[in-house]
């Protein structure tokens, strides 16, 4: 895990690992969200921001959630524009987490973009 997490970020990551990851893995015996996303968030800033966004919206930490959302979108745009990184599983995980975060609070044009991108990925 990155050593530079703030107290709020650490709490949001903990909330994801303890609650949201398990909820997303309810039909997945491999526990990909609980185990893989949590492990990869330490080395993937885009995935960490997606986790912060989803967990923040779930807990009502809207300021932190919006900051993470905007940062994640910026990183996704850059990374999805390169062939080498476009097939990174962390990016797919980030898009899925942002989609779930959007389900918690639908507003603005970016949520429409992510809703459309979710169907494109599937």
DSSP annotation string for the chain: --TT--HHHHHHHHHIIIIIHHHHTTT-TT-IIIIIIHHHTTT-HHHHHHHHHHHHHHHT-HHHHHHHHHHHHHHHHHHHTSTTTTT-HHHHHHHHHHHHHHHHS--HHHHHHHHHHHHHH-
Per-residue pLDDT of the chain (122 residues; tens, 9 = 90+): 556 888 988 999 999 999 999 888 888 878 888 888 989 998 999 999 999 999 999 998 889 999 999 999 999 999 988 887 767 889 989 999 999 998 887 555 555 555 545 444 44
Is the distance from CB of 69 to CB of 53 less than 8 angstroms? yes
Model confidence, pTM: 0.80
């Amino acid at each position: 895990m990155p050593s530079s997490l703030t107290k709020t970020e650490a709490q949001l990551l903990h909330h994801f690992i303890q609650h949201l990851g398990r909820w997303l893995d309810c039909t997945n015996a491999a526990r990909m969200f609980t185990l893989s996303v949590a492990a990869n968030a330490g080395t993937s800033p885009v995935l960490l921001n997606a986790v912060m966004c989803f967990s923040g919206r779930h807990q009502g930490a809207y300021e932190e959630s919006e900051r993470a959302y905007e940062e994640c979108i910026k990183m996704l745009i850059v990374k999805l524009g390169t062939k080498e990184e476009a097939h990174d599983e962390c990016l797919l995980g980030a898009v899925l987490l942002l989609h779930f975060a959007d389900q918690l609070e639908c507003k603005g044009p970016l949520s429409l973009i992510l809703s459309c991108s979710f169907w494109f990925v599937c």
